[in-house]
């Protein structure tokens, strides 16, 4: 398990643990966007190192940026760690550093045992060599002696299901075939650490199931995994702990479900400023009032508490507080909500009149409520339109009430939250 220091959201190191197979301590990596400059910096670094100077690895030079910054975590035998983060967050860079393909600029990486990186499709294969030749080349790069490769060769071919194409160049393989071969080579070297970057997303469902089955077996035997995926379900199925990277920084780590929740919430909110709390409006001068004035809009929970933000799936009241000056019969409360994150889609438009619920209002302070037994909105920032009418007569309207929805549940891959129960009904025996 990753141990997390709550105050800093960085894992706390436990040394002297013989089960630790990967230890990543204060690791940073910088890149330069400008190719010419990058080559120049490379040369400069080599010269500095040869002359025994200080490279000042922890400082950025012109046009450099941190692709990873002070990342810490540990992985133990048999543990599966998920890696999430949006494009460019630094996931592949981290895997490349663990696999030894690139070196960090600062920090220490310690890896015990054999690492099998499944980092990019067909990585480690030479396209002009045949499948047969590539199996030998790839598995010996991964550290297996030729005698062992010979012994395992048939199992690799059988697992990869490429017997017919074994003597064809790998460049003639489909992406699925190349992925199958890569996976087969990696698992047949008995790795201590397996690094997987979205590779399982390629291949048909049957092969994916076969891979998952094999991964579970490897894990039982003590292989540790780091799995990068944009699909929360594959992470939830495989990894009990995960880390969330954002612009190279480790944002949070811990139990996969909690990490995914924070990642999804950030994704839903991206590009929009969170809006929090109720909206209160000033009293209107009598001359401007049309007989009913909206004075506040807010959400309440089932116990009647006003909420800063409503929560997906919870029993929620959308409340519209009004000053009513005249008797109003058949008032119509209309509420629409549009998601500001994503493509600005209107999510719902509800009116009491279309639900055939006439609202009869007497003068005084009145709270109109739209009761939602289970809030269907997923986490995100929304803007809404709220009005009170009667027939064609409009009393008051608020055009932009912004609010934020949060969630304590996982709502991945959903456009709305479906309240539900799962049952088994025994029909007969
Ligand atoms: N060799 C390189 N030279 C310059 N910049 C690089 C290099 N490799 C990666 N980067 C940059 O570093 C950042 C992190 O890249 P990385 O590939 O690790 O992200 P990622 O989280 O794996 O993204 P994705 O989900 O899109 O695969 C990105 O801004 C990327 O453009």
Nearest residue by C-alpha to atom 30 in ligand 1: 88
CB 89 within 8 A of CB 81: no
Query: Is 89's C-beta closer than 6 angstroms to any atom of ligand 1?
Result: yes
Predicted ipTM beyond 0.95: yes
Q: Among candidates 233, 186, 195, which has minimal Cα distance to 214?
A: 186
Query: Is 88's C-beta closer than 6 angstroms to any atom of ligand 1?
Result: yes
Mean pLDDT calculated for residue range 162-187: 89
Strands 106-111 and 115-118: unpaired
Taking only the tens place, the pLDDT of each residue in 74-90 is 999 999 999 998 888 99
Given the CA of residue 85, which atom of ligand 1 is nearest to it?
21
How do the domains of the chain map onto residue ranges? 4-113+192-269, 279-405
Banded model confidence at residue 199, pLDDT cuts 50, 70, 90: low
Given the CA of residue 96, which atom of ligand 1 is nearest to it?
18
Mean confidence (pLDDT) of the chain: 86
**What is the rounded (10 degree) CA torsion for 228, 159, 125, 132?**
170
Given the CA of residue 245, which atom of ligand 1 is nearest to it?
21
Mean pLDDT calculated for residue range 162-180: 89
CA angle at residue 295 from 292 to 299, to 5 degrees?
Answer: 120
Query: Is 232's C-beta closer than 6 angstroms to any atom of ligand 1?
Result: no
**Is the overall model pTM greater than 0.95, yes or no?**
no
First CA to last CA distance, the chain: 43
Pocket mutation for ligand 1, best pick of 40, 66, 91, 198 (most atoms within 8 Å of C-beta)? 91
**CATH number 2.70.50.60 is the correct assignment for the domain at 279-405:** yes
- Out of 3.40.640.10, 3.40.50.300, 3.40.50.880, 3.40.50.280, the CATH code matching 4-113+192-269 is 3.40.50.300
Could you tell me which residues come within 8 angstroms of residue 377 by beta carbon, excluding any fewer than 6 positions away? 310, 312, 337, 347, 405, 416, 417
Query: Is 87's C-beta closer than 6 angstroms to any atom of ligand 1?
Result: yes
Query: Is 69's C-beta closer than 6 angstroms to any atom of ligand 1?
Result: no
Tell me the CA–centroid distance for residue 93 and ligand 1, in Å.
6
Taking only the tens place, the pLDDT of each residue in 288-335 is 899 999 999 999 999 999 999 999 999 999 999 999 998 999 999 999
Query: Is 67's C-beta closer than 6 angstroms to any atom of ligand 1?
Result: yes
Pocket mutation for ligand 1, best pick of 31, 68, 101 (most atoms within 8 Å of C-beta)? 31
Tell me the CA–centroid distance for residue 81 and ligand 1, in Å.
20
């Amino acid at each position: 398990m990753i141990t997390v220091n709550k105050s800093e959201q960085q894992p706390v190191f436990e040394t002297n643990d013989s089960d630790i197979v990967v230890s990543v301590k204060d690791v940073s990596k910088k890149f330069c966007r400008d190719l010419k400059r990058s080559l120049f910096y490379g040369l400069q670094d080599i010269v500095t190192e040869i002359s025994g100077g200080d490279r000042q690895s922890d400082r950025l030079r012109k046009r450099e940026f941190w692709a990873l910054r002070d990342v810490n975590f540990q992985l133990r035998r048999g543990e599966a760690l998920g890696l999430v983060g949006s494009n460019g967050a630094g996931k592949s860079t981290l895997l490349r550093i663990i696999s030894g393909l690139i070196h960090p600029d600062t920090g220490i990486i310690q890896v015990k045992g054999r690492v099998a990186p499944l980092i990019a499709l067909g990585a480690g294969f030479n396209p002009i060599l045949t499948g047969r030749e590539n199996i030998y080349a790839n598995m010996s790069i991964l550290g297996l002696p030729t005698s062992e490769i010979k012994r395992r060769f048939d199992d690799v071919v059988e697992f990869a299901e490429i017997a017919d194409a074994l003597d064809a160049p790998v460049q003639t393989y489909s992406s699925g075939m190349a992925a199958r071969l890569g996976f087969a080579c990696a698992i047949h070297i008995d790795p201590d650490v397996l690094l997987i970057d979205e590779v399982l997303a390629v291949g048909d469902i049957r092969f994916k199931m076969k891979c998952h089955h094999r991964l579970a077996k490897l894990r039982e035997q003590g292989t540790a995994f780091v799995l990068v995926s944009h699909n929360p379900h594959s992470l939830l199925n495989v990894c009990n702990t995960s880390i969330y990277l954002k612009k190279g920084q480790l944002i949070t780590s811990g139990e996969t479900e909690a990490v995914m929740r924070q990642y999804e919430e950030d994704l839903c909110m991206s590009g929009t400023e969170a809006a929090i709390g109720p909206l209160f409006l000033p009293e209107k001068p009598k001359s401007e009032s049309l007989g009913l004035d909206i004075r506040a809009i807010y959400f309440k929970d089932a116990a009647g508490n006003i909420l800063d933000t409503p929560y997906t799936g919870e029993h929620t009241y959308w409340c519209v507080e009004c000053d009513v000056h005249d008797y109003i019969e058949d008032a119509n409360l209309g509420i629409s909500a549009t998601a500001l994150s994503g493509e600005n889609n209107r999510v719902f438009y509800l009116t009491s009149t279309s639900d055939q619920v006439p609202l009869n209002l007497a003068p005084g302070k009145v709270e109109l409520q739209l009761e939602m037994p289970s809030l269907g909105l997923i986490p995100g920032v929304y803007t809404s339109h709220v009005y009170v009418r009667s027939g064609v007569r409009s009393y008051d309207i608020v055009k932009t009430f912004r609010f934020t929805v949060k969630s304590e549940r996982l709502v991945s891959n959903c456009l709305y939250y479906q309240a539900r129960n799962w049952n088994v009904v025994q029909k007969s025996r």
